[in-house]
Amino acid sequence: MHLLLIGISHRTAPVDVRERVDFHTRGVGTALAALAGRGSTREAAIVSTCNRAELYAACDDVAKTRQDLTAFVSEFNGVPHPQVAPHVYEVSDVEVARHLFRVAAGLDSLVVGEPQILGQVKEAFSAATESQTAGPVLNRLFHSCFAVGKRVRTETGLGSGAVSIGYAAVALAKKIFGDLAGRSVLVIGAGEMGKLTAIHMKSQGVQHVTIISRTMAHAARTAEAIGGASAATWDDMDAALGACDVVISATGAASPILTKAHIEGVMRPRRSRPLFIIDIAVPRDVEAAAGEIEQVFLYNVDDLQATVRENLARRASEVERAEAIVTEEVKKFAAWFRSRGAIPTVIALRQRFEAIRRAELERLEFKLAPLPTDARARVDEITHLIVEKLLLTPTEQLKAIGDADTIAVYTEALTRLFSLGEPSQNDSASGESDRRVTSFPRPGSTPRR
Amino acid sequence: MHLVTLVLYTGAFVAYAWHFTRRDAAVGRTATTLLVAAALAHTFLIGMATVEIGHVPIASATSAISTFVWLLALSYLYVEMTTDERAMGVFILPLLVALDTIPALLPGVEDQAAVLQGPLFGVHVSSLLFAYASFALACMIGITYVLLFKEIKAKHLGFFYARLPSLQVLDSMNHRAIVIGWVFLTVGMIVGVVWTAQARGYAFPDPRVQAMSLQDPKIFVALVCWMIYSFELFAARRIGWGGRRAAYLSALGFAIVLLNFVPISYFFTSSHNF
């Protein structure tokens, strides 16, 4: 069994290709059903986000499946093959694990360390489970990748720190006020930037948003757009400044509208209640000296951008640690995956032993025939147990081998020693479904009566 | 025997420092485990001493320090468990280790003086020790507040920004610790006054009882502490001295407490030299 990945992502395809290769348009479940119907894969899963569309498959014939999957991508999405083909990348076997682990860890994301991707990968796997296209191999692969994602989140700083201005402002507000629930925000100016930041704050639990604009009608319109916000006139400025915790200033004024002296006057009745001022206007709305006032935290656009840059740099410095975790987990997965290479030999060996047992029972039939039925059943049971016990250790040992070369040596030796390749066994080991493996007694679960 | 607790406290300190810099959850759990082990070993020591002398060992400067360290470790563990916040450990542990070296290296002799046999003695000493432990916590929380405050104010969001809880949380933790400390300090001081008045009756010949007055450095400095914390509690916030200034005040207050607790107890006081 092999692993195969065919996909496009923000690294290989421009957005106009990515938006056309979107499995969500017709539904991932539908896509999985269609893919399963083509019969080129044993197991399949589809990870589809706005930045990537990837098909993960377990198959027997890599070349054939590769062709079929590429064809499927263009056919299912109705995009001509020549338009997709140049952007498609493919990876096989253990490297598939490395790729998926990096994706789940956020290492392959547009914004390194973004947290949504792990959830999207989880959704992809549950869709595959629901469509019954996930089998033992993808099961193991995806569960390993969840573990990688979790480890990278808890053991490295890859996902820490805000990487957009809106998030940076919210993160700062939380660091000053703790919980934002019950806090109130004042937006000065009815422009788009102020509105967006206010909406962002509101989604974080801010209780009340007030909009002040030179034109009351503009303020009222913005307040309505935000929802649950109120508008106030320019004359209410001092009262509003006194009552709020966070000020977002984003007017188009040519000179500062809030001076240090003005804010000092507002701060006096507030005593020691902190005031967080986010000045996202260019030119600035708030006199820089206002930041010197005790309990006033003043951040302008450049300051926020600087923290975003710092966070991105910090994330970049964590990449190495995250990659180390990925490598470690890939090794574990690889050992498991390669040990599956021994499974056909295990099956053949067991079938060989069973065939011999049956043949011998048949040969001795004339001697066993006079025995009472329960004694015959006993003979059958005892011979079966002997075969099981003889095979227990070899089976365990074969399954524990983690490297392909050793497996090849063992397979060769066993095939010769027990003539496993010969057709005289009147069975068809190679044609057996791999699923049969699961019905074999596992080490430890073998009945030992 | 006390060396075992000292070693455990030191081990916990190393683990807390490691956890603070590397933010490894497993190391953090190890740190807490070590501190719990240290506190348990310390509890055992204090329990043994209590059985031996018939009361909690607080009747010498050294054993009072030991009991203080024990109370502080327990208070810190309480804060850590209720807030699920380990970042403060690295600030508290150095104090625990430093103070615990005193009882570990020079075991104190419990004073059996007549004046110490009164029932108020235990109340007086234990409430003051508990107050000091609260003030120690408030001080460490105050220091972390200032560190975080400076980072946010200077717009260099770095080391402490990533590790400490919010300013609001630190401020309210500090405030709570000061309230608790102030209540116990007040109780301890009132009990001390009452007890002195009684002791003048039954243990007057003791020169230490005669020295119980405001002129004694230990008593005077304790009163100064009480005034500083009263100011922080009742006046500071009203005149806009919240946040960073309150944090500085709690650090100053505890510096004086520590001065009163160690050097003054050992070298200067003539009333409290048990």
Predicted-complex ipTM score: 0.80
- In the predicted model, what is the mean pLDDT of chain A? 86
User: What pLDDT was estimated at residue B116?
Assistant: 66
User: What pLDDT was estimated at residue A441?
Assistant: 38
Closest CA to A137 of A73, A98, A93, A91: A93
Q: How far apart are CA B63 and CA B176, in angstroms?
A: 27
User: What pLDDT was estimated at residue A7?
Assistant: 94
C-beta of residue A111 within 8 angstroms of C-beta of residue A154: no
DSSP state of A4: E
Q: How far apart are CA A340 and CA A137, in angstroms?
A: 9
**Domain ranges within chain A, ordered by starting residue:** 2-155, 165-294, 337-439
Closest CA to A399 of A354, A440, A364: A440
Which CATH superfamily, name and number, covers A2-155?
Answer: Glutamyl-tRNA reductase, N-terminal domain (3.30.460.30)
User: What pLDDT was estimated at residue B118?
Assistant: 66
Chain segment A175-186, per-residue pLDDT in tens: 999 888 889 999
| Facing B162 at nearest CB: one of A160, A174, A299 | A160
Active site residues per annotation of A: 50
Q: Which stretches of chain B are DSSP H helices?
A: 2-22, 25-53, 61-83, 89-105, 120-153, 159-163, 167-202, 207-210, 217-231, 243-259
Q: How far apart are the first and last CA of chain B?
A: 23
As beta bridge partners, residue A8 has: A53
**Which residues on B lie below 8 Å from A154 (Cβ)?**
25
Q: Which residue has the tokens 């006096």?
A: A268
As beta bridge partners, residue A92 has: A4
**Domain ranges within chain B, ordered by starting residue:** 1-112, 113-274
**Phi-psi region at A385: left, alpha or beta (left = phi > 0; alpha = psi -120 to 50):** alpha
Q: Which residue has the tokens 């089998």?
A: A135
User: What pLDDT was estimated at residue B113?
Assistant: 62
Chain segment A100-144, per-residue pLDDT in tens: 999 999 999 888 888 889 999 999 999 999 999 999 999 999 999
Element (H, E) at A2: strand A2-9
Length of chain B: 274
By the CB < 8 Å criterion, does A33 face chain B? no
Q: How far apart are the first and last CA of chain A?
A: 34
DSSP state of A236: G
**Phi-psi region at A236: left, alpha or beta (left = phi > 0; alpha = psi -120 to 50):** alpha
Q: How far apart are CA B169 and CA A270, in angstroms?
A: 19
CB spacing of B240 vs A271 below 8 angstroms: yes
User: What pLDDT was estimated at residue B244?
Assistant: 85
CB spacing of A175 vs B166 below 8 angstroms: yes
Q: Which stretches of A60-135 are DSSP H helices?
A: 62-77, 81-84, 94-105, 116-130
C-beta of residue B93 within 8 angstroms of C-beta of residue B134: no
User: What pLDDT was estimated at residue A442?
Assistant: 38
User: What pLDDT was estimated at residue B214?
Assistant: 72
Percent share of chain A, pLDDT over 90: 47
C-beta of residue A415 within 8 angstroms of C-beta of residue A345: yes
A52-59/A2-9 β-pairing = antiparallel
As beta bridge partners, residue A52 has: A9, A49
User: What pLDDT was estimated at residue A252?
Assistant: 83
Diameter of chain A measured on Cα atoms: 114
Closest CA to B196 of B131, B271, B257: B271
How open is the CA angle A439-A441-A446, to the nearest 5 degrees? Answer: 150
**ω into residue A283 within 30 of 0, thus cis?**
yes
Residues of chain B with pLDDT under 70: 108-118, 203-207, 209-212, 265-274
CA distances from B114 to A80, A230, B133, B203 (A): 101, 72, 28, 7
Q: How many CB atoms lie within 10 A of CB A77?
A: 16
As beta bridge partners, residue A59 has: A2
User: What pLDDT was estimated at residue B115?
Assistant: 60
C-beta of residue A281 within 8 angstroms of C-beta of residue A251: yes
Same fold for the pair A2-155 and A165-294? no
Q: How far apart are CA A277 and CA A256, in angstroms?
A: 13
C-beta of residue A124 within 8 angstroms of C-beta of residue A28: yes
The residue of B147, B168, B174, B241 whose CB has the most chain A CBs within 10 angstroms, and thus the best one to mutate to test that interface, is B168
A400 or A9, greater pLDDT? A9
CATH class of A165-294: alpha beta
By the CB < 8 Å criterion, does A159 face chain B? no
Query: Shortest Cα distance from A295 to chain B (angstroms)?
Result: 7
User: What pLDDT was estimated at residue B203?
Assistant: 64
Between positions 15 and 34 of B, the ones with CB within 8 A of A are: 23-25
Q: How far apart are CA A304 and CA A279, in angstroms?
A: 10
Between positions 243 and 272 of A, the ones with CB within 8 A of B are: 267-268, 271-272
Band (A343; pLDDT cuts 50, 70, 90): confident
CA distances from B77 to B36, B46, B177 (A): 8, 18, 14
Query: Shortest Cα distance from A278 to chain B (angstroms)?
Result: 12
What three-state secondary structure class fits A181?
Answer: strand
Element (H, E) at A6: strand A2-9
User: What pLDDT was estimated at residue A431?
Assistant: 38
User: What pLDDT was estimated at residue B120?
Assistant: 78
pLDDT of A426 > 70? The answer is no
By the CB < 8 Å criterion, does B168 face chain A? yes
Averaged pLDDT for residues A34-49 = 92
A242 or B109, greater pLDDT? A242
By the CB < 8 Å criterion, does A160 face chain B? yes
